[in-house]
Amino acid sequence: MCAHPEDFLEEDGIEKNFEECVDAGEGTICPDCCCRFDCCSCCDTCYYPCEKLCPGSISLWGSFIYWQICQDFMDVGLKANGFIINDECGTSFKHGRRVINTPSSRPGFMLEADYHGCNDWDLFLGYTHYDFNHHKSARAPAGGFLFGRWIQPHLVADNSVSKLMTRWDFELNVADIGIKKWCSCAPQFILWPFFGVEIAWIEQKFKGCFSLLSPPNQLKVCNKSDAWGIGPKIGVDWKWCFAPCFSFVGDIATTIFLMHYDLHLKQHSPTDSTIFLSESNDLKACRPELEMYLGLNYEIRLPRCSHLRINSGRLNLQIGYDIQVWWGQNMMRWFNDSTFIATPQGNFCLRGLRLSGGLDF
């Protein structure tokens, strides 16, 4: 934060008057402290949430996230309570429904540090971590049918199962670094266009145990995708100060990743050595990602630290909602199964609550 007004109103024992403090070309002047409204806060009169930080200031943020993930092609079975006879004298599902492995909201965290440089340019660093594991099981209903998915084509003659048990492990780590520019579009509206580089690590594993009906047997499945990628990130942060100490904040950004996927598949029967399959593959692909955020921010100016002769900073409290879309990331299904004609590459979406606290000093 910049020096307190009394620091520059008195220098070398010589008091300066108000007129000597005024820089005619530097915005509106507060008559109480000779500080510009577009600079950092120096008194209660000119304090407003849109006041920018002075060069050399640092902002530290920590966030608790509570997100839910939804990923394509995570159906693990097809369940029906009955059958009907089709035109070809075969049996078909009647009122079937998919069994989908979709977890509820899970916690994670975000960290960010900003260094406010000269000429309104800032340097930022960020890190996000989110992980979970989720179980999903199902049994065939009496007189009905349960069709197991994630089983490799031609590995078994019939995908009918009496029960299935599955587990999905997921871990996402994202780090970014870049620069952004402070831009004042209106007295209460601020933009920070930014660009940088983002790195992502995405680890996914699907494990399943299927109790086959014909012939009676047990099949264990493990599909794994270890991925990492790097790419340019571009976006904009914004802030609208609608009242002293209160503001709406948000951002929208996108990244084009060059992803590398290390894929593994293993399917086998513990009781039948003839049922065994193991495959591996390495793939590279470009994958886009989009993220959006909207929140409400409350700022508190902390008391001045007289020993350091600077304002001690600002405390920020924030609540908001995140949405992120990652395209083509369900590469666990790359090896396909008998229920799909083409290789699926499902997207996943993250959405949920973010609670943040930040300190500017």
Amino acid 86: pLDDT = 52
CA dist 290 and 8 (Å) reads 46
CATH homologous superfamily of 56-70+106-134+167-360: OPCA outer membrane adhesin/invasin (2.40.128.100)
Amino acid 20: pLDDT = 40
Share of the chain above pLDDT 90, in %: 51
Q: Where are the alpha helices (DSSP H) in the chain?
A: 5-9, 18-21
Query: pLDDT tens digits for 258-290?
Result: 999 999 999 988 888 888 888 898 989 999 999
Inform me whether the pLDDT recorded for 121 exceeds 50.
yes
**Confidence tier at 309 by pLDDT (50, 70, 90):** very low
CA dist 79 and 94 (Å) reads 9
Amino acid 184: pLDDT = 82
Instruction: Report the 10 Å Cβ neighbour count for 243.
Output: 10
Residue with tokens 């007295």: 187
CA dist 306 and 15 (Å) reads 19
Mean pLDDT of 84-101: 65
Query: pLDDT tens digits for 167-222?
Result: 999 999 999 999 999 988 777 899 999 999 999 999 999 999 999 887 788 999 99
- Put residue 313 in one of left, alpha, beta given phi > 0 → left and psi -120 to 50 → alpha: left
Instruction: Report the 10 Å Cβ neighbour count for 274.
Output: 6
- Domain range summary for the chain, segments of one domain joined by +: 1-47, 56-70+106-134+167-360
CA dist 166 and 159 (Å) reads 15
* Joined tokens for residue 284: 């590279």
Query: pLDDT tens digits for 123-175?
Result: 999 999 999 999 999 998 887 788 888 888 777 777 888 999 999 999 999 99
**Confidence tier at 292 by pLDDT (50, 70, 90):** very high
Query: pLDDT tens digits for 3-60?
Result: 444 443 434 433 343 344 344 334 444 444 444 444 444 444 444 555 667 788 899 9
Inform me whether the pLDDT recorded for 88 exceeds 60.
no
CA dist 127 and 285 (Å) reads 23
CA dist 159 and 151 (Å) reads 7
Q: Which of 250-259, 300-309, 310-319 has the lowest mean pLDDT?
A: 300-309
CA dist 142 and 82 (Å) reads 9
CA dist 255 and 212 (Å) reads 43
Amino acid 154: pLDDT = 74
CB 287 within 8 A of CB 268: no
Q: Which of 212-221, 303-312, 316-325 has the lowest mean pLDDT?
A: 303-312
Amino acid 50: pLDDT = 58
CB 8 within 8 A of CB 19: no
Amino acid 333: pLDDT = 81
Residue with tokens 């304002």: 311
- Among residues 60, 48, 54, the alpha carbon closest in space to that of 245 is found at 48
Inform me whether the pLDDT recorded for 347 exceeds 80.
yes
Amino acid 65: pLDDT = 98
For residue 66, what are the β-bridge partners?
107, 353
Average pLDDT, the chain: 81
CA dist 301 and 308 (Å) reads 16
Q: Which amino acid is present at 97?
A: R
For β-strands 106-116 and 121-139, DSSP reports them as: antiparallel
Residue with tokens 């996943």: 348
* Joined tokens for residue 1: 């934060």
Residue with tokens 């920590």: 62
Is the pLDDT higher at 217 or at 238? 238
For residue 238, what are the β-bridge partners?
191, 250
